[in-house]
């Protein structure tokens, strides 16, 4: 089954404790992206990756890191989480189209709470 998986689905942590949220897709997609969703703000893009070893900032990259060492994986790293990073996080992937953005397939989400 074609899908985007995220782990963990739920995470409660404390300020300053480094964490990683994993994202994996099995559709051989070149493009992957991370979003955060907050009430009243919709989805905001954190980082995206056009292909292996190619990443770029989205609209709200502060406090986050990503890496793309393999095509299928795109982990999101919070080196020193703070309470304002409490949010619902979505990973997404799509084929890269030379003509522009393409439809994205979303993972189920990771609900993160930072105390």
Partner 1 sequence: AQSVTQPDIHITVSEGASLELRCNYSYGATPYLFWYVQSPGQGLQLLLKYFSGDTLVQGIKGFEAEFKRSQSSFNLRKPSVHWSDAAEYFCAVGAGWNSGGSNYKLTFGKGTLLTVNP
Chain contacts with partner 1 (rule: CB under 8 A): 31, 33, 35, 40-45, 48, 50, 56, 58-59, 90, 92, 96, 98-109
Per-residue burial over 52-72, b = 16 or more CB atoms within 10 Å of its CB, e = otherwise: eeebeebebbeebebbbeeeb
Q: Which is nearer to partner 1, 13 or 102 (CB)?
A: 102
> From CA 14, how far away is CA 1, in angstroms rounded?
35
Work out how close the CB of 81 gets to partner 1 at its nearest, in angstroms, rounded to a whole number.
22
Q: Rounded distance, CA 102 to CA 93, Å?
A: 9
- Of 13 and 105, CB closest to partner 1: 105
Toward partner 1, which CB reaches closer, 28 or 82? 28
């Amino acid at each position: 089954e074609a899908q985007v998986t995220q782990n963990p689905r739920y995470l409660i942590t404390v300020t300053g404790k480094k964490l990683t949220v994993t994202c994996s897709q099995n559709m051989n997609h070149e493009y992957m992206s991370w979003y955060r969703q907050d009430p009243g703000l919709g989805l905001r893009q954190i980082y995206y990756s056009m292909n292996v070893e190619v990443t770029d900032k989205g609209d709200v990259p502060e406090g986050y890191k990503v890496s793309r060492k393999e095509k299928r994986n795109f982990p999101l790293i919070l080196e020193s989480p703070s309470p304002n990073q409490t949010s619902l996080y979505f990973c997404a992937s799509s084929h890269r189209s030379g003509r522009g953005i393409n439809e994205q397939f979303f993972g189920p989400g990771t609900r993160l709470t930072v105390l």
